[in-house]
Amino acid sequence: MNIASLTDGLFSSDPMQPVFSDRNTIQRMLDVEAALARALAVEEVIPHSAVAAIVNACKADLIDTDALAKAVRSAGNLAIPLVRQLTAVVAITDEDAARYVHWGATSQDVIDSGRVLQLRDAIDLITIDLAELADTLASLAHHHRATILMGRTWMQHAQPITLGLKIAGWLDAIMRHQDRLQAMRTRVCVLQFGGATGTLASLGHSGLAVATTLAKDLSLTLPALPWHTHRDRMGEVATTFGLLTGTLGKIARDIALHAQTEIAELAEPLAHGRGGSSTMPHKRNPVACSAVLACATRVPGLVSTMLTAMVQEQERALGGWQAEWDTLPEIASLTSAALNHLREVMSGLSVDAARMRSNMDITRGLAMAEAVSLALAQDMGRAAAHEFVEEACHQSVESGRSLFEVLKSDPRIPEGFSASRLEALFDPAHYLGEASAFVDRVLAHHRQRKA
């Protein structure tokens, strides 16, 4: 059984928690058992008279969860004691029908197919949340298309960009994850049904027909063959969620850096009791970003577990498959948590455009050195202009004067290079390159996806 956690509110989301709850794990396996009974009857492998009793018994509320949890240790998996209990429940109303419970299936068929049903629900939840985040980012990118922001490389001032460009970069990555999620869902939502060694020998010549009917009943795709020890599908879920969580962490890291007291350009939404300190009344900590980053820190190790677990033995794994059982739900829960925290941040992101503009000036124009150098290169040559402006930058730092003042007073400035022309080069709005065009391209892509 899952161990209740006081931090579930941080590391899962309200919609995701029921998906991988103990009760739903049991119910999804029972859904497979009920569908199997129906499929077997349709293909005339078992009597139609047995179906109702089996299907009616496939309710998680009829299962003794505590007894199931105790039996797992000796059984080695959840399906064996579950089938035992299910058979006993069916026998209460129809002893003859009880003979046909789990007919032709193996434990892994029920566990894997039940897990696929859970993953389908999880993917759908994340898909919805991701679309909402994309819409919010698109709105922010449009609104801040021309909001000037200092671009930073190696954590240092570099050149001006726009906040819209930064957000468009976030959005562009999110849209790629939407594509990955959609493609992954198609490959993952497939039936697992192969019997003991993947041949369905226990069903004779009816095996493929039963599998086809079973897949249709569960609204899953029928794969070319059972995949008991071929775990690339589960690995793809893990890595896709891992990539997404990595991007969510990158965005959270950016926001947290911009929220530092000395920068104060962005901030999480302000709410009573949010981001406070137990000792410092003034604090406004980026708590949601912290939660996203915690999720992004935990997920890669779990993804590694899933990839390591892919190396499985022959027709049934010894440890690798079992390692997936708790790992994959945890990845999904952490991904959902990170996504929900970030959606909350973005829906009320506080933007201080004035602070962004004032932060541009703290290096006294040094961030515009390249723009000046390129303009002077037309008269001085590229190498000479670069060396000249680099020297002026050193003088600016040493003297505390702005780069404009240093250059304006330098007699080596070419004739005809007026002070007004030089001053114009220090306007960051004149050195944004294709920032607006890039934002527009991303927003156009977003609109096309929604059309």
Q: Active-site positions? A: 277, 316
Query: Hey, which bits of 277-384 come out as E strands?
Result: 350-351
In this structure, is the dihedral angle defined by the CA atoms of residues 249, 254, 259 and 265, taken in order, positive or negative? negative
AA letter at 81: P
Rounded Cα distance between 95 and 50, Å, is 9
Rounded Cα distance between 212 and 277, Å, is 58
End-to-end CA distance of the chain: 44
Rounded Cα distance between 17 and 232, Å, is 25
CB 37 within 8 A of CB 55: yes
User: Which residue from 417, 410, 380 is spatially nearest to 392, judged by alpha carbons?
Assistant: 410
User: Which residue from 277, 282, 255, 276 is spatially nearest to 267, judged by alpha carbons?
Assistant: 255
CA–chain centroid gap for 63, Å, is: 34
Q: Which residues contact 13 (CB under 8 A, 6 or more apart)?
A: 125, 129, 333, 336, 337, 339, 340
Query: Hey, which bits of 318-432 come out as E strands?
Result: 350-351
